[in-house]
Amino acid sequence: MSTTNPQSDAPTDATSRPVDRARARRRSKQRRRVANVAGLMASLVLTGSLYSVFAPAQAAEDTTSESAAEAAGRELYERSCITCHGENLEGEPNRGPSLIGVGEASVYFQVHTGRMPLVRQEAQAPDKPAVFSDAEIEQLMAYVQANGGGPELPPGGNLRDGDLAEGGELFRLNCASCHNFVGEGGALSSGKYAPSLKDATDLEIYTAMLTGPENMPVFGDNQLTPEEKRSIINYVQTVKFQADPGGAGIGRIGPVGEGLVIWVVGIGALMFGIFWMGSKA
């Protein structure tokens, strides 16, 4: 930013004495220098502020000062995520997708369910015990959110305060085709699958709908409003913890389990019975 004015010695001053003339020349040169610097600074500030007005997201990246949480998040990122998601969250071909714009909701879901960090590349990341603590997840969320933004966590409050019956209807309409009637999960193509919702927490279900992890479509707030999302969560969690009035639930997967039971238990017990009867003459 050092400025030198190439026209600094231009004869613009009208003083007769050479000393005065020289002094005046020096003074005017300084004045010109100051003016030039000021003008340049003004235009830079103007450009910068205009730029920040028209491209607010990018402006955030220009800020060199990051919060402590973001710095800690960057630290974690550089240790555990950088191999697949790249130096600047831009992703690596055939390894991991870009994280720019995925938002803290996605980080929360992937890291909180233990899906990330990935153990190995396979059809789909399985859920496992979380590697990072809640505090570390917060830091990672802050870092990713600071670098590209994206869907944020819901503002809090009870995530189950939606309408139960409406939630069921929405679940069957939007979720059951992969996750089964009551969230038992199901197979997708080529080794991919829709996981069981047995261990899913409210916030995990919410962030999954918001960000569409793995093969799941994104259910943004335009597709399912936050109220509808809370209804779905209410339904999933209510039905999950509801007792089976008919006895053992046998996986709640319907006829496959029932067929197994009737052949193994039903026919098995009766075979035992008729062997026994046959031996009694």
Partner 1 sequence: MAATATTPGAPTSRLGKAATEFDDRMIVAGPVRRTLNKVFPDHWSFLLGEIALYCFIILLLSGTYLTFFFDASMVEVEYQGEYDPLRGTQMSAAYASALDLSFDVRGGLFMRQMHHWAALLFVAAIVVHLLRIFFTGAFRRPRESNWLIGVVMLVLSLLMGVTGYTLPDDLLSGTGLRIISAILLSIPVIGTWAHFAVFNGDFVGTEIIGRFYIAHVLIFPAILLALIAVHLLILVKQKHTQFPGPGRTEHNVVGNRLFPTFAGKATGLLLVVFGVCAALAGLVQINPVWLWGPYNPAQVSAASQPDWYIMFLDGSTRIFPAWDINLPGDYTIPALFWPTVVVAGLMFTVLAVYPMIERKLTGDTASHHLLQRPRDVPVRTSLGVMALTFYVWLLLAGGNDVIADKFNISLNAMTWVGRIGVIILPPIAYVLTYRICLGLQQHDREVLEHGIETGVIRRLPHGEFIEVHQPLGPVDEHGHGQLAYGGAPVPKRMNQVGGARRAIRGFFSPIEQPSAVELEQLGEGRGLAAGEASRELTSSGRPSDGGRPSDGGRPQDARD
Name the site residues for partner 1 (rule: CB under 8 A): 123, 164-165, 167-169, 172-173, 176-182, 184-191, 193-194, 235, 238-239, 242, 244-250, 252-259, 261-263, 265-267, 269-270, 273-281
Smallest CA-to-CA distance from 182 within 237, 228, 248, 128 is with 237
Closest distance between partner 1 and the C-beta of residue 272, in Å?
A: 9
One-letter amino acid for residue 49 of the chain: S
CB of residue 187 to partner 1, shortest distance in Å: 4
Closer to partner 1 by CB, 137 or 182: give it.
182
C-alpha 170/C-alpha 228 separation (Å) is: 8
What's 195's DSSP letter? Answer: P
Kind and range of the H or E run holding 186: strand 186-187
Compare residues 154 and 186 and give the one whose CB is closer to partner 1.
Answer: 186
Minimum CB distance to partner 1, residue 204 (Å)? 19
Instruction: Between 220 and 254, name the residue whose CB sits nearer to partner 1.
Output: 254
Gap between the Cα atoms of 81 and 76, Å rounded? 8
Closest CA to 124 of 106, 110, 108, 107: 110
Smallest separation (angstroms) from partner 1 to the CB of 243: 10
When the beta carbons of 65 and 189 are compared against partner 1, the nearer one is 189
Beta bridge partners, 187, equal 193
Which is closer to partner 1, CB of 56 or CB of 251?
Answer: 251
What is the nearest approach in angstroms of partner 1 to the Cβ of residue 124? Answer: 10
Q: Are 170 and 156 in contact (CB under 8 A)?
A: no
